[in-house]
Amino acid sequence: MSRLRIVFAGTPPFAAGLLEALLRSEHEVVAVYTQPDRPAGRGKQLQASAVKQIAQARGLPVLQPQSLRTETAAADLALWHADVMVVVAYGLILPQPILDTPRLGCVNVHASLLPRWRGAAPIERALMAGDTHTGVTIMQMDKGLDTGPMLCTEEVAITEDDDRISLESKLEHAGIRGLLRALADLEGFILRATVQDHAASTYAAKLEKHESLIHWDQDAQAINRQIRGMVGRMPAYTQYREERIRLLKAQVGPAAAFRPGTVISADKDGLLVACLNSTLNITQIQLPGKNPVSIRDFVNAHRNHFENGSQFDAVIAAAP
């Protein structure tokens, strides 16, 4: 295996895991691109991305341009004499001059089996669609959105217990395996790359805030997929009287004939709520300003909080 000079571009924790793997490999990471620091937390203080934190801890040069479409962007990248630019959830569009600058171009680690789920939210969309498998595609980048030729893939099964957090962890490990495999013979993989079937593509649109709101007139399977897909980033929520409650974990319950949104029971085994011709057994929630809590613990502390026959609502006048 030839040692490659790599410029890495990425931003969130998923990308940070890939960067750490490269830093443990035989290859040389010469510079890191990441998004500018953003306000975060209750105090809205500027916070470095997960990738920047790893890069700084290892003493790597960090670049945080607002855009790569400037006249000097390609020239600045060329200064690193990179063999390849590895891109993982970076968040900026790479124009053609950037794509053409490294000797072997730019390689992307995408968290789906392309051409399914091109776009910004492939992990969430796979869960919410009820997919039973997904994976990671290592692809040569072109000017399109996740449209470039595929170098290799790593498949991952989606179990009924997976949520966004657990599936992202599986895909991170799959991405590491696929990326290191591709880099071991990058020129060979590029020569053998597979063109995507563009007619079979699907689009993983960025999640919107309104998608977190639960509508109880759906069946329990659909609502459970919504909860699993949104947890950890934009958790699914409902309204109970004056409270906005996040639902973090649930299982599909037995069939029942109640008005959707009706609380059927609340005990140590869960909060059973009616859906369309079905029920959902909620086992973990989060109230405003509070930490996540199991229904078992919540019911022990607030025995009469959820009354049998009361109603969850899908309408919130002004969600915070």
The pTM of this model reads 0.93
Say whether domain 209-301 belongs to CATH 3.40.50.300: no
Residue with the two structure tokens 């069946």 = 219
105-146: pLDDT as tens digits = 999 999 999 999 999 999 999 999 999 999 999 999 999 999
What confidence score (pLDDT) does residue 16 get? 98
For 170-215, what is each residue's pLDDT tens digit? 999 999 999 999 999 999 999 999 999 999 999 999 999 999 999 9
Residues in the chain: 320
CB atoms within 10 A of CB 290: 11
Give the architecture (CATH level 2) of 5-204. Answer: 3-Layer(aba) Sandwich (3.40)
**Terminal alpha carbon distance of the chain:** 53
pLDDT at 18: 98
Average pLDDT in the chain: 95
Residue 320's pLDDT band (cuts 50, 70, 90)? very low
The residues of the chain that CATH labels 3.10.25.10 are 209-301
Query: So what's the pLDDT on residue 100?
Result: 98
- What are 226-261's pLDDT values in tens digits? 999 999 989 999 999 889 999 999 999 999 889 999
Question: Rounded to 5 degrees, what are φ and ψ at 55?
Answer: -60, -45
CATH 3.40.50.170-classified regions of the chain: 5-204
